[in-house]
Amino acid sequence: MTYETITVKPLAGALGAEIGGVDLSKPLSNQEVEEIHRAFLDHCAIYIRGQELGGDDLLRYARYFAEPAFYPFAEGLPEFPQIFELRKEPDQLKNVGGRWHSDTTYLDKPPIGTMLYAREVPAYGGDTMVANQYLAYETLSVGMQRMLDGLTGIYSAGADRTGREENKNMKMRDTDKTEQYVAEHPVVRTHPETGRKALYVNTEHTIRFKGMTAEESLPLIEFLQVHCTRPEFTARIRWEKGTVGIWDNRCVQHFAINDYHGQRRVMWRLPVGAELPA
């Protein structure tokens, strides 16, 4: 596809693209918005470098995709409650998001996208991996596709093993209520804009399949997680200060790599949209 107002440089064969020619500190034209949205749908995860943004700027950019949402277990910034800070200090060993997952699948209406803005990055490390779940579904056998098309997953916040409570720099809330967040979603969801099918299951939040026990479900969940993140389905976003990224949670899993001990990393995170998977 051709673009007139932006440049689009693919990151990997599976997904991801770097967008150029955009200044997010100013409102975008209708054509810029349309082309960025098209790149988002085509590449599943996009990022723009060299941006100097405040909270208002980030919220304005998010609204080009969907209305900003809230994360249930973290306090947002005082002036921008939908934006919260992810900060790992040099003395910390654990990070948030250090397992493959799609964000907050335990909500009835999970966010369609996750936006991150790099405020401070380590000299090396701290990348984010993303994995294309369209390809994960499309490369399964016809028999496996047929079986999964009829399955419903049970997703729970209580199954989260990322060490959320151990992140002493996040202002947490309601962490004693994680067991109350349980949702049912199709294991194979159809993207409402592209019409493509994507796997929607992960070992971080999927606890079992409806009508099956956890013990019966676990081998298939684990098989699918390994399959979902095969190297040829992935790409690696290398953050620089001022990079803004957003990926499509409807067809992408992600993994925050924890390989920068002794260094500081500060990101603003913003859930975007709330949509019932179908």
Annotated catalytic residue within 43, 191, 250, 269? 269
Q: How far apart are CA 82 and CA 76, in angstroms?
A: 5
The encoded tokens of residue 51 equal: 């941006």
Annotated catalytic residue within 57, 103, 160, 248? 103
User: How many Cα atoms within 13 Å fall on the side-chain side of residue 255?
Assistant: 20
Nearest to 161 by CA among 258, 259, 86, 95: 95
Q: How far apart are CA 127 and CA 118, in angstroms?
A: 11
DSSP code of residue 105: T
User: How many Cα atoms within 13 Å fall on the side-chain side of residue 11?
Assistant: 31
Q: How far apart are CA 172 and CA 162, in angstroms?
A: 14
Annotated catalytic residue within 43, 99, 101, 205? 101
Query: What number of other Cβ atoms are within 10 A of residue 32's Cβ?
Result: 19
Annotated catalytic residue within 185, 250, 254, 265? 254
The encoded tokens of residue 103 equal: 């964000």
Beta bridge partners of 237: 128
Where are the alpha helices (H) located in 23-141, listed in sequence order? 30-43, 55-63, 133-138
Active-site residue 269, yes or no? yes
Active-site residue 38, yes or no? no
Catalytic positions are 101, 103, 254, 269
